[in-house]
Amino acid sequence: MACPNCGECQQCINELDSSIVCGSCGTVLDDPDLVSYDDNVVHRKGRNDASIPTESLWFQRAATYYGLPAEYIEAGKNLYKKHRLELPKLAYNEISVGIICYVGRDLKPTWQYEDFIAAFPYPLHKPSVIKTFVCVSGALPSSEAKLSNQFDYATDQIYGIIKKELYPRKAPKTFTSEKIKTYCKKLLSLGEKYGLNAGKKIRPLITAVACLSALHLQTKQPIRRVRGSKRVGEIKKEYYFNWKFNRFSCFVFASPRYIQDTYNAYYQMIYQGVKRLAWIKCDNVKDSIFYLDDFLDFFLATDNQKPKMELDSILFWPSSFMKSLARSEILEGYINEAKQHITLKTNPEDPFSLVDSIITLLKAGYDEKEFIEWTPGYMRSFSNMLIFRNAYMSDIQTNRNLDNPSVNSNDMSNEEINVYLV
C-alpha cells in the first residue's frame, strides 16, 4: 500500500499505539480506530462495524512487522480470502504468521517456521500456525532447510554463545568462526558416512558438531601454568568442559537433551577412531578430542581418495536395533539347539526352558520363519496351548463349529471342562 502523502511503500509500526505509519514521512496509514480523513474530520469505526475486515487488519500489521513488501502483502491477503473458511477461528495472529511463513519463505530462506513464531512479539498457538500453513500450502511446514543453506547461518548465530561459554572474559585471536566451520564440515561429512546425521534436525546437529570443533580448538590454546609440574592427565582435565546446551535452545528449537545426545554420538565416533590408532593411548572418551586432527587425517577421505582407515558402521547403529539384533542371535542359537534335540531324539535338561517350547513348535509343523519374530512369552504360551490340545483333543487341526446348537463330539469333553473348573 503506497503512502498517499509521499508515495513510498515502506511501512513501519508505531509502538506507542500499534498503528501502521509510512516509514518515510510518518503519515498514519492504518489505525485500529481510524478509517479515513474527509474535510479534516476523522471518521472512526465502531466495534461492530464490519466495513473493514478485522482479519485483514491483523494480517496487515503482522506483515508490516516482518517487513514484507507490498506485493507479498497482497498475495497473503488473497490467500486468506481463498482459504478463509478452512482457517482456524478467532486466531488472527496465528493465521497471519502462518500465511507469512508461506509467503515470505523466499525472502528469508534461512528461516524455519519456528523462527517466524519466535520473532513475533506476542505468544502464538503453534498448532494454529501449522494448520494455517497446511491450509494455504497443502503441505506440512518443513522445519528443516538444506544443510548447505543452514550451515553458515547457524554457525554464525551460535559462535557468540560458544565463545562466551568457553571464554567468559576474552577469547584468543586464533579462536575464529572460520576454523570452527572447517572442522564442522569435516566432522559432518564423516557423520553422513556413518549414519549419524540420519533423521537429525539440522540446527541441533550443527550446534553439537560446532561445540566439539570449538572444544578441540580450545585444546590448542596453552593453559596458564601454576607452580610445580603437572602430569599429563591433570593437564587434560583442565580442558574438560560441560556445555550448557540450554543456552542454544532459543535458536535451535530443540531440547538440551537432544543436542546432548547428538554431541555424545559424535564424541563416540571420534573415540572409536582414536582407539584404532596404535600409537595413541586413549582410555577416556573425553581425551579423544585432543587427537581430532589425527582422527580426521586417517578416517576422512580427501581429494576423491579413499581414507586410510575406516570404522565399522555397526558401531553406530541405533541401540534399539542392536538389542533386536542381539535378541535374534540368541533366538537362533535356541532354534539350532532345539533342532539338535529333535535330530538326536533327546530332551533338554530344563523342561520349562524356551528350547523345549521351540521343540514343541517345530514338531507341530511350524517353520522357524513363522515364530522368529515372536516374543519368548508368546512362544511359551503357544507351545503350552499345543500341548493342551494334544492332551485333550483327538485332532489338533479339528475345525470346531461353535455356533452349532446341538452337542456333538467337537464340543468340550467332561475332562476338558474339569480342567477349567479346578
Do 288 and 306 have their domain in common?
A: yes
268 and 362 housed in the same domain: no
Instruction: Check pLDDT > 70 for residue 239.
Output: no
Is there a single domain that holds both residue 261 and residue 199? yes
Taking 60 as the threshold, does the pLDDT of residue 24 lie above it? yes
Q: Average pLDDT, stretch 185-214?
A: 92
Q: In the structure, what pLDDT confidence band is assigned to residue 146 with cuts at 50, 70 and 90? A: low
Q: Distance between CA atoms of 340 and 128, rounded to whole angstroms?
A: 62
**pLDDT of 98 strictly over 60:** yes
Which CATH number fits the domain that encloses residue 29? 1.10.472
* Residue 52's pLDDT band (cuts 50, 70, 90): very low
**How much is the pLDDT for 160?**
92
pLDDT, residue 49, reads 44
Residue 263 and residue 153 share a domain: yes
In a domain? residue 190: yes
Longest Cα–Cα distance in the chain: 110
Number of domains in the chain: 3
Q: Is residue 5 part of a domain?
A: no
Q: Grid coordinates in use for 314?
A: 555397526
Per-residue pLDDT at 262 exceeds 90: yes
**CA within 13 Å, CB half, 323:** 3
Give CA angle at 332 (328, 337), nearest 5°: 150
Determine, yes or no, domain membership for 380. Answer: yes
Closest CA to 72 of 143, 80, 21: 80
Of 316, 337, 365, the position where a domain reaches its end is 316
Q: What is the mean pLDDT of residues 309-329?
A: 83
Co-location of 204 and 113 in the same domain:
no
Q: What is the pLDDT of residue 53?
A: 46
Closest CA to 342 of 322, 364, 323: 364
Residue 44 in any domain: the answer is yes
Is 384 inside any structural domain? yes
Work out the average pLDDT over 91-106.
Answer: 88
| 116 shares its domain with 157 | no
Q: Of 137, 171, 201, which residue sits at a domain end?
A: 137
124 and 153 both lie in a single domain:
no
Do both 266 and 387 map to the same domain? no
Q: What average pLDDT does the segment 213-220 reach? A: 90
Q: Is 14 helix (H, G, I), strand (E, B) or coil?
A: strand
Digit-coded pLDDT (tens) for 160-198: 999 998 888 888 888 999 999 999 999 999 999 998 988
Average pLDDT, the chain: 81
CA dihedral sign of residues 358, 359, 363, 368: positive
Residues with Cβ within 8 Å of 23's Cβ and at least 6 positions away in sequence, in order, are: 8, 10, 11, 12
Q: Tell me the C-alpha distance between 20 and 27, whole Å.
A: 9
Indicate if 279 and 156 belong to the same structural domain.
Answer: yes
Per-residue model confidence (pLDDT) at position 39: 43
Residue 372 lies in a domain: yes
pTM of the prediction?
0.66
pLDDT band at 386 (very low <50, low <70, confident <90, very high): confident
Phi and psi for 19 in degrees, rounded to 5? -90, 155
Q: Bigger pLDDT: 160 or 396?
A: 160
Q: Are residues 100 and 163 in the same domain?
A: no
Q: Where are the alpha helices (DSSP H) in 303-413?
A: 319-344, 354-363, 368-371, 376-392
For 11, phi then psi, to 5°, come to: -125, 150
- Which pLDDT belongs to residue 38? 43
* 216: containing domain: 147-222+235-316
